[in-house]
Structure 1
């Protein structure tokens, strides 16, 4: 059964990532947006590219802990719902990165 957890603060999102080093952080924005700054260790996986086949290449297990974000929260919600429909079971939607206070990695 799929559960999409909504993370409501940057502090909670950072704590979640720090306490779960094996989580897979998915940046579901476009490549140009990712290059301007992304969360450390995030994997670029644009929402429009999420299919059953592409997800298998990026995510090792349907039970992997997934942390999903975008710029404002709309695409992360869509991505979380798509991943849920594809059978992934442990999804955390941290919403938009627009004011992320913990520093970003630049470039691809």
Structure 2
């Protein structure tokens, strides 16, 4: 099973339209980076903390999860780790440096 990759612009359109129904936005940066500003509604699970066990914050392995980081490197790593843990609906949206929407602090 692989994950999908879409651009931040595509993701922003999905989030703003409310399309795709129920999903989770996952920020895999460190907590200090997350606290400095993140996509509204995102939850934070640092890439470094994603190991062999499913993160407690993500109990549903079939949930649609949009993953991002700062530049796109850690989101790719996290997406690969989550898929290896059995998550079936992972979408890597790259780095927040490409985000043109609102920022929440």
TM-score (norm 2): 0.89
Q: Determine the structure 1 residue equivalent to 2:65.
A: 66
Q: Determine the structure 2 residue equivalent to 1:46.
A: 46
1:32 partnered with 2:51: no
Report if aligned partners of 2:9, 2:99 keep a CA contact under 8 Å in 1.
Answer: no
Cα distance in 2 for partners of 1:39, 1:31 equals 14
Cα distance in 2 for partners of 1:32, 1:20 equals 29
Stretches of structure 1 that go unaligned for 5 or more consecutive residues are none
Spell out structure 1 runs of 4+ moving beyond 3 A.
Answer: none
C-alpha displacement of 1:49:
0.6
Cα distance in 2 for partners of 1:21, 1:31 equals 27
Aligned to 1:3, what secondary structure does the other structure show? coil
> Counterparts of 1:84-95 in structure 2 under 5 Å?
84-95=83-94
Aligned to 1:98, what secondary structure does the other structure show? helix
C-alpha displacement of 1:52:
4.5
1:101 partnered with 2:100: yes
Q: Please give the per-residue CA displacement for 1:73-94, whole angstroms capped at 9, x wherever unaligned.
A: 0000000000000000000000
Q: Determine the structure 1 residue equivalent to 2:19.
A: 19
TM-score (norm 1): 0.87
C-alpha displacement of 1:39:
0.5
Aligned to 2:97, what secondary structure does the other structure show? coil
Cα distance in 2 for partners of 1:21, 1:36 equals 28
Stretches of structure 2 that go unaligned for 5 or more consecutive residues are none
